[in-house]
């Protein structure tokens, strides 16, 4: 599904990522873990086209996407969520999800200004679909609230709803459990499983080890910009290199 080959990223004189390669199986949940500064978010930024890597290539379903920009990748079905929750804070919850359907609609400025029939039909479709996604993630009752007023946990859910509305093939989540309490984290875990079961591939960066070990089928460990290990949760837990990286020994 997603394949990274020899990704290297250099910022000035600092090597943030060095020769990282791994692949993500279609329909799986893959976790990317590592201590702070390991290069996890940088990796996400490269895959989603926000950074251009110094070296290496990224493939999505066999297609080379190394040099596509962010909005083109969204059209191909690759979306993400952010560590600090990037909502459209002045728009309502419903409108946020409606933006998720941007790639599923095509009306331009002209047909929107003149309300051409095609645009009216499209608008109905967007509204109906958006409401369905709010139901899917269980935040229908918040539909008309301004997103900036949401509590953090609900904001996370909204961000995920918005990403799902784009009907992605693969969704990248940057620390989805950060800032959530244990109940919210448990709900998140079951939502991520539900997303996976609907056929969407999930990749997540996460610090919450319980969550990662619980839901991920395969884990990639980064340390200081290099891939340290890759395998099933059990293999990773028993890997001496990983243990020493996390405990700061060696």
Partner 1 sequence: MVTVKKRQLLVFFVFAAAVLLAPFFLKGNYLLNVLVFVGINTMLAIGLNLLLGYAGQISLGHAAFFGMGAYISGIITSRFPVEPFLIIFLAALCVGVIAFIIGFPILKLKGHYLAMATLGFGIIMYIIFNETVDWTGGPSGLSGIPNLRVGSLVFDNDWNNYYLVWVFTLAVMLLSINLSRSRIGRALRAIHDSEVAARVMGVNARILKVQIFTVSAVISAVAGSLYAHVMTFIAPASFGFNFSVELLTMIVIGGLGSVYGSFLGAAILTMLPELLRVFQDLDIVIYGLMLILMTMYMPGGLIGGMEAAVRFALKKIGKGENNNAQA
Vertex 234: Cα angle to 232 and 239 (nearest 5): 95
Out of 5, 19, 57, 123, the residue judged to bind partner 1 by CB under 8 A: 123
Of the candidates 177, 21, 22, 154, which has an alpha carbon nearest to the alpha carbon of residue 93? Answer: 154
By CB under 8 A, is residue 105 in contact with partner 1? yes
User: Does residue 86 interact with partner 1 by CB under 8 A?
Assistant: yes
Residue from 24, 43, 65, 126 touching partner 1 (CB under 8 A): that is 126
41 near partner 1 (CB under 8 A): no
Nearest C-alpha neighbor of 139 from the set 177, 202, 183, 187: 187
Q: Which of 10, 99, 186, 209 binds partner 1 (CB under 8 A)?
A: 99
What token pair was written down for 185?
A: 């984290």
Beta strands (DSSP E) in the chain are 2-11, 14-24, 29-33, 55-60, 63-64, 78-81, 170-174, 201-205, 218-223, 226-231
Q: 2-11 and 14-24 as β-strands: parallel, antiparallel, unpaired?
A: antiparallel
Q: Is residue 201 part of the contact set for partner 1 (CB under 8 A)?
A: no
Stretch that binds partner 1, among 11-19, 63-71, 192-200, 223-231 (CB under 8 A): 63-71
Contact flag: residue 194 with partner 1 (CB under 8 A): no
DSSP category for residue 92: B
Residues that bind partner 1 (CB under 8 A): 48, 50, 69-71, 74-75, 79-80, 82, 86-91, 95, 98-103, 105, 107-109, 112-115, 119, 122-123, 126-127, 162-163, 166
């Amino acid at each position: 599904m997603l394949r990274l080959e020899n990704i290297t990223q250099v910022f000035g004189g600092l090597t943030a990522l060095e020769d990282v390669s791994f692949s993500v199986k279609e329909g799986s949940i893959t976790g990317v873990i590592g201590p702070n500064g390991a290069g996890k978010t940088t990796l996400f930024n490269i895959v989603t086209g926000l950074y251009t890597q110094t070296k290496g290539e990224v493939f999505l379903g066999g297609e080379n996407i190394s040099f596509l920009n962010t909005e083109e990748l969204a059209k191909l079905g690759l979306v993400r969520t952010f560590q600090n929750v990037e909502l459209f804070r002045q728009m309502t919850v419903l409108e946020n999800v409606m933006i998720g359907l941007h790639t599923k609609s095509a009306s331009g400025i002209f047909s929107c200004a003149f309300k051409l029939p095609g645009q009216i039909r499209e608008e109905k479709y967007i509204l109906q679909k958006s409401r369905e996604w709010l139901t899917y993630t269980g935040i229908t009752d918040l539909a008309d609230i301004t997103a900036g007023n949401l509590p953090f946990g609900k904001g996370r859910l909204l961000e995920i709803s918005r990403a799902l509305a784009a009907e992605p093939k693969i969704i990248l989540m940057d620390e989805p459990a950060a800032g959530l309490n244990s109940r919210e984290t448990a709900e998140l875990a079951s939502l991520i499983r539900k997303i996976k079961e609907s056929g969407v591939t999930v990749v997540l960066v996460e610090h919450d080890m319980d969550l990662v070990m619980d839901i991920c089928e395969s884990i990639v460990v980064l340390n200081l910009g290099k891939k340290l290990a890759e395998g099933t949760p059990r293999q990773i837990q028993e890997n001496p290199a990983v243990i020493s990286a996390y405990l700061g020994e060696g």
